[in-house]
Structure 1
Amino acid sequence: MHDLLTDSSGNVPVGLAPLEAVLTDVTNHYPVLEWIRRSPAARLLARLAQSPDTLTHHALDTLPPDANTSYVRGLLVTAGVLPPRQENLARLETWLAAKLAQLPPHHVTLVRPFAEWGIVKDARRRAARGRYSLSAYKGDCTDIRVTIRFLAWLDAHDLNIRDLAQAHLDDWASTHPTQRTRLIPFVRWVHARHIVRDLEIHHRPRQLPGTFQDEATHQAELRRCLTVTGLPLPVRIIGALVRLYALPLTRIVELTTDQFHREAEAAYLTLDRHPVLLPPALATLLDEQIAQLPAPQPPQGRRHLRLPGAVPGRPRNPVGLADQMKQHGLPVRAARNTALMEAITDMPPIVAADLFGISPATAHRWSQLAANSWAPYLAARQRSRP
């Protein structure tokens, strides 16, 4: 490791000394040796060590945004060489800058202020609350992409944005049915600034959830998560959190150790702003998971994610995690739908929204579904029992 990080003067730069200490202070050195010999990320780190003054987030942002750059950035942040940052927000800002550089000037005059004030500003607010997830980043990028495509469509039809009429918007929406919802933020933004007249573009009708579990299956899978030691520990924790608290994977992977705490004989997990009482079996699983995490590195107080991913300091990918859960016979979507429906039937929608961190509109929609569809389902289930 010393040879890898040595610069042209034959010394390890002072700023990289913490990284050298982190990577050599391990019980089993063989994985680190294998990483040094074979990993492209290690070779990238060696090149960066030759110019330690360029070891900044900004310098890394100029490199190809691939897995190697992400891995090296994670190492540097974990070791305290670089300050931590909200990575999904930073990716959005970097992606936007690159996208704007590719646009014609008359598109930039609209896309830049819309993206900065209509998208990025809200993303910064959510990131400050620790709620800007990978899925939110992807959604915001899609909103901007669809806006760019819409402006290109206007050009192709020799239309100026100020000439946009309802008939034009309806024409575009009918030929781009899968993108119409993503254009709503831009339409609202240009209307609020009196760039266009009063126009309407509606959300596509929301599809009601159709995948649920019967109670016996739901409870059996929960018992598996809490009692079957043959399952991987992260799988057991995720499965229980989905079935008890209807948490989506995008939120579970972002949970940090400081959201879990014990008081006297009870254990709590803070969801959004509210501590939720945990079953003792799940609290024990979380204790075991936290005990397996490496000790915090400088700067002091750095929080470790409960479910760390392949990139140091970054969480697991929710998509890959969903596949893993399915492989272990613990599907996520049906279990979450069932847990959320049961919660909605037991408490007012606004309480469920506040507790689980979903929007009031979503909670209200689920409440309507519970009143209209869940009662007959429960009645039919009761009649089918022996």
Structure 2
Amino acid sequence: MRKETSGAALLRDLIAAGYPITHELLDTFPGRQAAVHLRHLLVHVGVLPKRDEYVAGLEVWLRHFLMKVPARHRTVLQPYAQWVVLRRVRYQARTRGNSRSSINYARAQVSVTLDFLEWIAAEQLTLVSAAQADVDRWLASGATTRRRLRDFLRWARRCHLVGDLQVPWQPDGEPANFLDEDEHLSLLHRCINDPALPLDVRVAGALILLYGMPATRVVRLTHEDILPRKDSVYIRLGDDPVVMPPALAQLLEQQTRVAVPSVVERGMGCRESWLFPGKLMGQPLSGAKLSQKLLRHGVDVRSARNSALMALAADLPASILSKVLGIHINTAVDWVSYVKRDWSSYLEARRAPELNP
């Protein structure tokens, strides 16, 4: 079989060789962009069934990873990896969706667990005989990623495989990277009104600056998330649609017109549903690429998002913030608590000169 230079060439070679075209066959071409493009094309036209590529990729990785694990460790690692890590990723695929970073985190949980199992074996320990001092010693002798062992130990305690072993929580610290109020408003005004900016940068930047959306959520917006109703246009971010300012609604309406299908899809009568379509057929732009593009045009996603969330948390209770924005209730509570604490410190600082003239 000659080396493929495109998805079409790869498909031609596979058909000529008499191979049935399946997901499993395309999985044998890891890392080859031609196979990736071909898979998305065949799924989009209905030749192959839909599947979550993040979940499928983790399944393939786990299968190969576990094959190389010594049997004495696999008896513990395999059930944890499949019943806990993979199951969680599958659940996330059905609910809020996965991202490349969430899959990398899942892989790290499995890899770190194997590192720990190999370490205690080298120390002539077992899961039963290992003490908290041993866990602390292992954590202190490596990178902070070793703290991802917490999930495994929690599962192992439930299964009575270990004693009361813990990975201490490491505080994440307070949110950082904020825009001041003038910068926030100036950047939002620029996204709404500056025609020199690319349209997708204006739309994505305004959504992040107004609603604190992560880039990974922005790229997953579809035409169906934009809801025209009488004299207003709403956007669906969480449980309850949110009314948009007219200027932003106009930008989104323009974006829906430019987010058109590829040539192949148009020939098949397909309609693009993603507001930010990617190069892969039927797939959105990646959050990382959108973030990079925004940064090139002066919009730092983290500081823009943090500033928006702080402004919203100052006006909305956590329960409403969670429902409207579609963020976890714990995240909403953390933001509201942070804003109240920060505001209290500000008032105290303002009162200090009056108390101590």
TM-score by length of 1: 0.82
Distance 1:57 1:380 in 2: 62
**How far is 1:53 from its partner?**
4.9
**How far is 1:346 from its partner?**
0.6
State the identity as a percent.
36
Contact 1:133 / 1:251 at 8 angstroms: preserved in 2? Answer: no
Pick one of 294, 300, 309 that aligns with 1:331.
Answer: 300
The one-character-per-residue Cα deviations of 1:362-383 (angstroms, maximum 9, x if unpaired) are 22222222122245559989xx
Distance 2:165 2:267 in 1: 53
Distance 2:251 2:49 in 1: 31
Distance 2:103 2:63 in 1: 15
In structure 2, what is the equivalent of residue 102 of structure 1? Answer: 68
Pick one of 45, 49, 55 that aligns with 2:21.
Answer: 55
Contact 1:134 / 1:250 at 8 angstroms: preserved in 2? Answer: no
Give the 5 Å matches for 1:9-48. 39-48=5-14
Q: What secondary structure does 1:112 align onto?
A: helix
Say if 2:330 is the partner of 1:361. Answer: yes
Pick one of 161, 175, 178 that aligns with 2:144.
Answer: 178
- The verdict on how the C-alpha distance between 1:90 and 1:380 changes in structure 2, with shifts beyond 3 A counting, is farther
TM-score by length of 2: 0.88
Q: What secondary structure does 1:163 align onto?
A: coil
In structure 2, what is the equivalent of residue 305 of structure 1? Answer: 274
**How far is 1:356 from its partner?**
2.1
The one-character-per-residue Cα deviations of 1:123-167 (angstroms, maximum 9, x if unpaired) are 212211242233222221121121122112222222222222111
Distance 1:108 1:339 in 2: 46
Give the 5 Å matches for 1:156-305. 156-294=122-260, 304-305=273-274
Paired AA for residue 127 in structure 2:
I
Distance 1:297 1:78 in 2: 12
Distance 2:76 2:266 in 1: 44
Distance 1:226 1:180 in 2: 44
- The verdict on how the C-alpha distance between 1:181 and 1:353 changes in structure 2, with shifts beyond 3 A counting, is farther
In structure 1, what is the equivalent of residue 105 of structure 2? Answer: 139
In structure 2, what is the equivalent of residue 316 of structure 1? Answer: 285
Structure 1 regions of 5+ residues with no counterpart? 1-37, 382-386
**How far is 1:287 from its partner?**
1.8
Paired AA for residue 295 in structure 2:
K
Distance 2:347 2:181 in 1: 10
Contact 2:6 / 2:34 at 8 angstroms: preserved in 1? Answer: yes
Q: What secondary structure does 1:267 align onto?
A: strand
- The verdict on how the C-alpha distance between 1:342 and 1:227 changes in structure 2, with shifts beyond 3 A counting, is same
- Aligned residue pairs, count: 344
Distance 1:113 1:73 in 2: 30
- Relative to structure 2, which stretch is displaced further, 231-240 or 267-276? 267-276
Structure 2 regions of 5+ residues with no counterpart? 351-357
**How far is 1:330 from its partner?**
1.2
**How far is 1:229 from its partner?**
1.5
In structure 1, what is the equivalent of residue 37 of structure 2? Answer: 71
The one-character-per-residue Cα deviations of 1:38-66 (angstroms, maximum 9, x if unpaired) are 94444323323325652111211222233
The one-character-per-residue Cα deviations of 1:293-334 (angstroms, maximum 9, x if unpaired) are 335679999762211222222222322322211110111111
